[in-house]
Amino acid sequence: MNPLRLACCLASVVLVIAGCTSTPDTAQPSAVGVLAPLTGPDAGWGVDAVNGARLAVDVVNDDHPDLPLPLAAGTGLPGRGGARLSLAARDTAGQAETASAALTTLAEDEHVAGLVLAESAEIAESAASQAQRLRVPLLDARSTDDYLTELGIDWYFRIGPSDSRLAEAAFALLARRGPGSGEITLVTEAGRGGSAAAVTNLRELARRAAAPIAESLNVTAADTAQLRDRLAEASGNTVVAWAQTPAGARAVADAVGQTTERPTLVGLGQGFRALERPDSGAAVLRAVPWSADLAQRDPTARLVAELYERRFGKPMSAVAADAFTATMALAAAVDAAGSADPAAIRTALRRTSLSAVQMIMPWDGVRFGDDGQNQFAAAVVEQWQDRAYRLVYPIELASTPARWSPEPKP
């Protein structure tokens, strides 16, 4: 063999060996980002959201063979050569500008594989548009406004149910109350984005449920006395209220509790989901994506809630469960993509299919539609009974029957 050919052969062998022994990209750690309010008035639930995401990362990275969750058995991401998952949390401070700056940093400087957002609908809309520009997948773990999935943003995904799905569960329970249950007084919180759409949506759902609306009221959190007087005039009516703030929800609950008959109050919107202790005496029902009552009776959810309490020293909240679920879904997509490429992860999210037994939520699973909405997300209805929220609907999951005030007429 002549010297030139020998040199070429040796060079080829060296290249082959180098290719076989180099460290693959899939072994590198995968980072996901989480955006939530860690300062400001919403810092309490914002910290819970980050803690829920952190627990999901722990479940992926550590071996949990007793949990039937995706990636719980074994360590790391098998689709990426066993790479560990890391979490980059940033504070939104409840401000769109702050959230925008944090999102840009995570996408452009830290090159996260995807983002989990726990924020208001207004900030979610802004963040979704920016995620579209930066071409990074965004999973919304908290907002429920219907319009967000109607914006045509391809990089936006919502893990939980929409307001429509939540309201449908509440009206389905009202329909079971039977004939003689009376009319509805519809109350919406004024001064918040989406309130007009909420009124239109609730009217349509009431019509489908054959629940006649006697009166519609638009109030602010400061209108408790005026609302009480208006509700007293509509004696006996069930109150269906939509509130985006806890203050608005509490104002409605206080007004209902101060009336003589204390009619049943059905609470919808973020405000009622954040209302921890409605001690006004009102019989408060609320539609929610997750129930602590049910979690105590579901083996998988109970185990995860126990892990959360040991890790963070407090019970798992609804927003923590939301963020945990969103982060697990994002991790499953990163693993399925086998790549850190955001476009590949977005494609994997669109193909994600998790079953009900792979969830801690009372849903049928996770499968995203063309609009980014999880089509399997569902709602349950709780009622404040004996100083705790008890699951009352669906009937097959209920721990106790709903209590109605006043009782339907025969």
Check which CATH number belongs to the domain holding 317 and give it: 3.40.50.2300
pLDDT, average across residues 360-375: 96
Residues 387 and 258 in one domain: yes
Report the alpha-carbon distance of residue 25 to residue 81 in Å, rounded.
Answer: 9
> 241 with 188: CB under 8 angstroms?
yes
Decide if 371 is inside a domain: no
The HSE-up count of residue 163 (CA atoms within 13 Å, CB side) is 28
Decide if 14 is inside a domain: no
Q: Which of 240, 232, 235 is nearest to 212 (CA)?
A: 240
Residues 255 and 123 in one domain: no
pLDDT, average across residues 93-110: 96
The residue type found at 384 is W
Decide if 309 is inside a domain: yes
**pLDDT value at 225 more than 90:** no
Q: What angle do CA 74, 79, 84 make, to 5 degrees?
A: 60
Q: What angle do CA 42, 192, 276 make, to 5 degrees?
A: 40
239 three-class SS: strand
Token reading at 153? 């943003």
In which domain, by residue range, is 238 found?
164-288+380-397
Residues 150 and 183 in one domain: no
- The DSSP code for 26 is G
**pLDDT value at 26 more than 80:** no
More confident residue, 215 or 304: 304
Ramachandran sector of residue 265 (left: φ over 0; alpha: ψ -120 to 50; beta: rest): beta
User: For residue 10, with 0-12 CB atoms within 10 Å meaning exposed, 13-18 middle and 19 or more buried, which class applies?
Assistant: exposed
Report the alpha-carbon distance of residue 374 to residue 289 in Å, rounded.
Answer: 12
Q: Which of 109, 97, 88 is nearest to 31 (CA)?
A: 88
The residue type found at 63 is D
Residues 157 and 170 in one domain: no
Query: What was the pLDDT predicted at 126?
Result: 96
**pLDDT value at 14 more than 50:** no
Decide if 20 is inside a domain: no
Report the alpha-carbon distance of residue 70 to residue 79 in Å, rounded.
Answer: 12
What sections of 176-269 are H helices per DSSP? 195-208, 224-233, 246-257
Angle between helices 195-208 and 163-175 (to 10 degrees): 30
**pLDDT value at 8 more than 80:** no
> 94 with 41: CB under 8 angstroms?
yes
Residues 245 and 157 in one domain: no
Residues 207 and 138 in one domain: no
Report the alpha-carbon distance of residue 162 to residue 148 in Å, rounded.
Answer: 9
Q: 239-243, 371-375, 401-405 — which one is most confidently predicted on average?
A: 371-375
Residues 123 and 227 in one domain: no
Decide if 7 is inside a domain: no
Decide if 308 is inside a domain: yes
Overall number of domains in the chain: 2
More confident residue, 223 or 176: 176
Decide if 403 is inside a domain: no
Decide if 15 is inside a domain: no
pLDDT in tens, 194-223: 566 677 888 888 888 778 888 888 888 777
**pLDDT value at 171 more than 50:** yes
Confidence of residue 406 (pLDDT cuts 50, 70, 90): low
Q: What is the mean pLDDT of the chain?
A: 87
Residues 248 and 389 in one domain: yes
**pLDDT value at 94 more than 50:** yes
Q: Which of 3-7, 67-71, 342-346 has the lowest average pLDDT?
A: 3-7
Residues 268 and 151 in one domain: no
**pLDDT value at 24 more than 50:** no
> 81 with 24: CB under 8 angstroms?
yes
Residues 63 and 170 in one domain: no
More confident residue, 253 or 205: 253
Residues 225 and 104 in one domain: no
Report the alpha-carbon distance of residue 192 to residue 252 in Å, rounded.
Answer: 15
Q: Which of 76-85, 191-200, 216-225 has the lowest average pLDDT?
A: 191-200
Query: What was the pLDDT predicted at 392?
Result: 97
- Give the DSSP H/E element, type plus range, for residue 164: helix 163-175
Query: What was the pLDDT predicted at 37?
Result: 97
